[in-house]
A and B are shown apart, each in its own frame.
Chain A
Amino acid sequence: MSESVLTKPYGRPTSTWKFLLSELKPRGNPWTIFNMISVPTVIVAAVIIVIRFVYGLSAVSNVTQMVPWGLWKGFNVVTGVAFAGGAYVLTFMVYILGMEKYKPLVRVTVLNGFLAYTFYAIALILDLGKPWNIINPIIGNSFGTSSILFLVAWHFILYIFAQLIEFSPAVAEWLGSERARRNLKRLTIGAVVFGITLSTLHQSGLGALFLMAKGKIHPLWYSEFIPTLFFISSIFAGLSMVIFQGSILQRVFAYQMDKHSDENHNIMIRGLSRVCAVTMFVYFFLKIVDSVHNHTLGYLMTPMGVWYMIEMIGFVLVPMLLFVRGVRLGTPFTIKLASIMTLIGIVLNRMNVSVIAYRWDEIPRYIPTWMEIVVTVAILFVQIWIFRWVLHRMPVLRTMESMTAPKPTA
């Protein structure tokens, strides 16, 4: 892959518009396997979305009167936000606790978080019956201030801006404006503090959404501590995403990595694994205390109980032990495996609370249509396209200096 040498570090190129236009062009070989899968998927999804807005939700989705929230809410919104939790955890570690060694991970994680939140907002709009009224809770006189969803919606919007501010210095460097970079950098700490506060509240708030569904969610998943459990699990969900994503980026963007990066990366993911293991232990312990407290252990021998144990043992306890083992032995493979299993566990948990264990006794059960799945995957693909576009052009994984330095091999 060849790099254009249009930008000088902090120096303006000939014309900003020419520069932006040249940057918009795709680079590299377009005929990759990923593109051959993702492009048709997104095209099909676009058709499905048109059908959805012409004929209504039931034309493409299986949601019912009894299970009104399906895959788009349960996966793209509720699960996706937990996956994007890495940004607030890492900014807390680096900017508040001063753990400088994790700094190389901050930009890419914040970028991912920003894109994730933006695209989950889009998924939410697809799911809304009257998306044109989305303006009502934002401006106007229709504030439903006693609604948890009102709180979550506002925190969502504000956090997207906080992440944009946290990431903005990279954009300024890319555009070659040193003055803008310096000014934007001054806002970082404020955005970080504000962002961590917002994240604490909306990560737990997403759980609090389900507090009023008492009696509708299976007792093994319903708890008055759902907000706390959602918050704690967002810590290891976010960090597992950082580990998993890092292992892919190390390979796909190998040309941007210097020779020490592999070694550094392994040191960083070992540290993050420790945090994962500890928070997972706290989470597992709280779940047990909660089950004992609510007398729900009796359900364990029912089919839903077995499903619960698969989630809690197979995808919380086992990956927790794998994280511990990976840290002890220093084996990146074990850590990556643990992170993937943790992510599956989070998908199971969030989908269970919002869709699967919700009205678990209702027949017929909600099963998503292929069209819902295609749209869900397409949203992820478009997000990855933009992520990839930014990583190829902006100083995210590497510094501006190393980007413009002549490369020995193309």
Chain B
Amino acid sequence: MSIDRREFLKTLGVASATLSGATALGNSKTELDQEEFYAILHDVTLCEGCQECEFACATANGLPEPTDYPDSEIKRQLKPDQYSVINAVETSAGEVYTKQQCMHCAQPACASACLTQAMKKQKEGPVTWTEGKCMGCRYCMVSCPFDIPKFEFDDNNPKIGKCQMCFDRLKQGEVPACVENCPAGALTFGRRSEILHEAHRRIMEDPASYVDHVYGEYEAGGTSWLNISPVPFEELGFKTDLETKPYPELTKGFLYSVPSVFVLWPALLMGLRGALKKDDQEDVEGEDHE
């Protein structure tokens, strides 16, 4: 009987995973394919705030059309039935427009938080939500560093609302609705490595018009949504205090310790109990006097 080392380790891994009921074995796979994800670049310098993307998003996802307009006085918020918002922001470079939606992280906090795999990172890039699996626990909302998932608190069969990067269109070889309908050419769609390259090329060729920062290249360990801007991203109201490593890394240490505790604790406890047992106490669990 021959069993090579690789097979043995695999078996051991599976055995400890079964014992512990939870491990993070599947976590590292996404790193390898990361560069092949689809990504979208939003060039803030080109965006005209026309809201065509918002209307296209509403149509593509069967949502109500937006009724308000970008206004630098107010910050429009994502809603369970609005997956994408354009905001006007007064900056040192004049009024510019930002677009907010799910960032589609390479290793999403929401997907690693989800205990039913309702939130899932697809190999094409989108982070999708499956209604039939979701329990409505809202741990994805607690975990998301961008506060993207929105919950229908006023519904007795609530859904989580967020951008799915038009996953159904992607599968049919189409680009996301917002990209297709942008008249200003502010949105560019492609493989993440190409899009990243394009973002850096624009900054290199016109350093006066951009700050040298591609938002989403490293934020939260890298996202499938990238932004370039004429002003620092703090001015746009983007979160700039985020981790540069993927958020699921924060729980990895704890998850990895679970199998060891599960093996060590019972052994230690039984050993301790045996060592402390008095000689005349033969069988405590069987018959002890209350």
Residues of chain A having any CB pair with chain B under 8 Å: 53-59, 61, 63-66, 68-69, 92, 95-98, 103, 127-131, 133-134, 136-137, 142-151, 153-155, 182, 185-186, 188-189, 193-194, 196-197, 200-201, 204-205, 208-216, 224, 227, 358, 395, 399
Interface string of B13-35 (1 = CB under 8 A from A): 00001001111111100000000
Docked-complex contact B138 and A212, CB < 8 angstroms: no
Name the one of A95, A145, A212 contacting B23, with C-beta atoms under 8 angstroms: A145
Docked-complex contact A149 and B269, CB < 8 angstroms: no
**Which residues of B in the span 222-266 have a Cβ within 8 Å of any Cβ on A?**
239, 241-243, 247-248, 250-251, 253-255, 258, 261-262, 265-266
Beyond A146-B251, A151-B20: 18 further Cβ-contacts under 8 Å? Answer: A56-B154, A57-B158, A96-B272, A96-B276, A129-B152, A133-B133, A144-B116, A145-B25, A147-B113, A189-B284, A193-B269, A200-B265, A212-B250, A213-B143, A215-B242, A224-B253, A358-B142, A399-B290
Docked-complex contact B258 and A201, CB < 8 angstroms: yes
Docked-complex contact B22 and A196, CB < 8 angstroms: no
Q: CA of A68 to CA of B137 in the docked complex: distance in angstroms?
A: 9
Name the one of A63, A103, A154, A216 contacting B22, with C-beta atoms under 8 angstroms: A154
Q: Which residues of B contact A145 (CB under 8 A)?
A: 17, 21-26
B interface residues, tally (CB under 8 Å): 69
How many A-B pairs have beta carbons closer than 8 Å: the answer is: 202
Interchain residue pairs A-B with the least CB separation, the first 8:
A129-B136, A58-B153, A150-B115, A68-B138, A197-B265, A212-B143, A129-B158, A144-B115
Q: Let me know if B67 is at the binding interface, CB within 8 A.
A: no
Q: Let me know if B170 is at the binding interface, CB within 8 A.
A: no
Name the one of A68, A97, A131, A146 contacting B27, with C-beta atoms under 8 angstroms: A146
Q: CA of A189 to CA of B281 in the docked complex: distance in angstroms?
A: 14
Q: Let me know if B188 is at the binding interface, CB within 8 A.
A: no
B126 to chain A, nearest CB (A): 18
CB nearest to A129 among chain B residues: B136
Contact A133:B116 (CB < 8 A) given known A68-B142, A145-B25, A212-B251 = yes
Q: CA of A151 to CA of B139 in the docked complex: distance in angstroms?
A: 13
Q: Let me know if B114 is at the binding interface, CB within 8 A.
A: yes
Q: Can you give 16 contacting A-B residue pairs, CB < 8 Å? A: A54-B156, A96-B276, A97-B272, A97-B273, A98-B277, A129-B135, A130-B157, A131-B135, A146-B26, A147-B113, A150-B22, A189-B273, A208-B254, A214-B145, A215-B145, A224-B253
Q: Let me know if B189 is at the binding interface, CB within 8 A.
A: no
Q: CA of A29 to CA of B52 in the docked complex: distance in angstroms?
A: 71
Docked-complex contact B265 and A128, CB < 8 angstroms: no
